Structures are given as C-alpha cells and as structure tokens.
Amino acid sequence: MGPDQPEIRRDVALSPYTTMELGGAAEHLCLVTSRDQLRAALAWAAERGEPVTCLGGGSNVLVPDAGLPGLTIVLRLRGIAYEAAPGRSGLVLVKAQAGEPFEGLVAATVGRELAGLECLSGIPGLVGATPIQNVGAYGREVSEVIHSIDVFDRERNEFDTLGSDRCGFGYRDSRLKRDPHRFVVVAVTYALTQGGAGLIRYPELAERLACGSEATLANVRAAVLSLRRAKSMVIEGVSDENRRSVGSFFVNPVISAERAEALVRQALVEGLVERETDVPCFGIGAGRCKLSAAWLIERAGFQRGLRRGAVGISSRHTLALVHHGGGTTGELLALAEVIRVGVRRRFGVELQREPTLLGPGTGA
C-alpha cells in the first residue's frame, strides 16, 4: 500500500471517535492524512457504490446505534500556516488543515497576539467542523473571521476554494451543512488582526472581565475558559462526570419579536420572573429575537443533573446532555425528545438539535 492509499478497515467501533462515546460501528473506516489519500478513499467508495460519511473530531455529531454503512472517512490532515494578507495592513491569514484541533489553533493565535478567535477558546473538535456548524460562543461566530475554505467538491470531483461569501453562513448554519453530500472540508483560512483587542460583546464575559482584568487577548481567553469550565464545557479528563457530551445539545431558538413579547408576558404572569429583563431575550434585527434554550429548559421543569438511566442532563448546565457510560444513542435521543416536547408544551417554542445525527453523506 503506497503513501497515497489509505488503509481501509472493516467493522470499526465509532464510539471512540466521538466525544459522546455512543453509537455503533463503521462498515468500513479509514484515516486520511493528505489530500491524495482523501481523493483515493472517495474513489474507493465510488467504485463500489458505497455511501460516505466524513468524521472530524466527533464533538458535534451522534452516531446511530446501528452504525454507519459504507465508508467512514476520519480526517486527520494537519498543519498551520501564517501569512500577511496582501494589501491589508495588520491582517494575517491563518490557514489550518481540517484535522488540526481547534482549541490548539485558538491557543496558538492568541499566543501570537492575533485577534479573532479568543472568544472561541475551549471549544472541542477539529478545525474542519467549525465552518460547517458556524460555531459560536461568547459573542463571536467563526464566520466573522473566516476568509475562505478549501474543500473537495464531490459533485465536480475536484478541490476548490470557497470564499466566505460562497458559504451561506447563518446562525449555526452554512451551505456546507445544508449540502453535506457535496463538500468535504480540507482546510480553513481565518483572517485575524495582529495586535487587535479582545472581543467583549457577550454580557457574561463582560461581567467576568469587569473584575479588574484588562481586555487583552490572553485575559479574554482565560475568562472564556473559566466560564466554560464552570459549565463543564471544556473536555479535560475522565474525572468530570459530564465529559461525554457534545456541548450545547440544542440551538438557542430564534423567534419573532411579537412572539418573544408574548413569552415575556407569560413568564411574568406565571411568576417565573420578576422583571421583563429577567427573561434572556436578545434582539438580532429584522424583527427577530434569540432566546436562551437553557432558560426555557429549566423553566419547563428539567433540572441540572437529571438522569434517565445511562444518559441525562449535565450537572453544570441544562443545555448539555451527557452520557454516563453504557448507554445508547437511542436513549439519548429519547431524552432529548422528552425535553423538546416539554419546552414546546410550556412555551410553544420548538427546540432544534445542534449535533448532527450521522448517516451517509453527513459529518463534522
């Protein structure tokens, strides 16, 4: 087997490749470390008419208990390159391969005094998944600093580069997510600002930094990590009972301003809050408001630490569902459905799952 031919194994357990540690086996699986290996793996599947699933760090996906048919490609391309943006003083283009750990990239850019990713500190997973989900935290969405994305276009059977304007980014959404059968992310280029100030846009982060810290990139990163650790949103070892998780399991819902006003009135009448401002509700323009899914879940009667067999709600944060070991994806999805129905019945708001349930042509 040559260096451009990946080793393809049969019947490989997939739970070790995900942070939730759930699900069945891959019918076939290969790890790819180069673009040539990726092309060869896709050709192998095409010749046999096999479906393909691409998997990165497994931090925002769920594997079905029945496993995955066809070929699962685990992306492990590595490398980070830095260059000054042509004609843009102070702007640095940072190109990271899809298999780079995203947290490592954030730490490296903050260490180089490059502003733009500091609010995304502590997010698990690999670089390649960040544009698919348009990951965001503490006031920053990654799409705000993405310059371009290198992809393999399976429809055209060639590598291509998508500028950020071709990616159709939305809240926890992108063209890549909406068309998972077509593109495989192989690298992401971020446009970061040399010597820029840390972003303080999120109220909770602003409160933490108001305790005397300056808004340096390092201080913003430290504050974000502290906030995430308090919610068990940083994967740091086996001692944390909440470690088997995908982080936020539900997307913060976006509803009309009129519907949000009605929900606030409901919360006041039912005594859930004392003041209108106690309901986490943020205007995002165009007559729309974003609600806190965690607030809705708690007020619908689901508390931290709730356990249903081998799965449950994190003891630190109601937005995270966790696996305690020995469970199934079916059990986890059943708990998620109970929560979703409970919130809908109480508030008339539909929660949407954030992690992707894997199947042929999907992945993150």
- Residue among 140, 154, 172, 221 flagged as catalytic: 172
- Residue among 100, 141, 331, 354 flagged as catalytic: 354
State the angle between helix axes of 102-111 and 217-230 in degrees (0 to 180), rounded to the nearest 10: 150
CA dihedral 127, 131, 132, 137 (to 10 degrees): 90
- Residue among 208, 248, 299, 314 flagged as catalytic: 248
Angle, vertex CA 83, rays to CA 80 and CA 88, nearest 5: 140
Give the pair of three-digit tokens for residue 288.
């729309």
Q: Which of 233, 355, 351 is nearest to 293 (CA)?
A: 351
Residue 55: what residue type? L
Is there a catalytic annotation at residue 248?
A: yes
Is there a catalytic annotation at residue 245?
A: no
Is there a catalytic annotation at residue 178?
A: no
Rg (CA), the chain: 21
Q: Which residues are catalytic?
A: 172, 248, 354
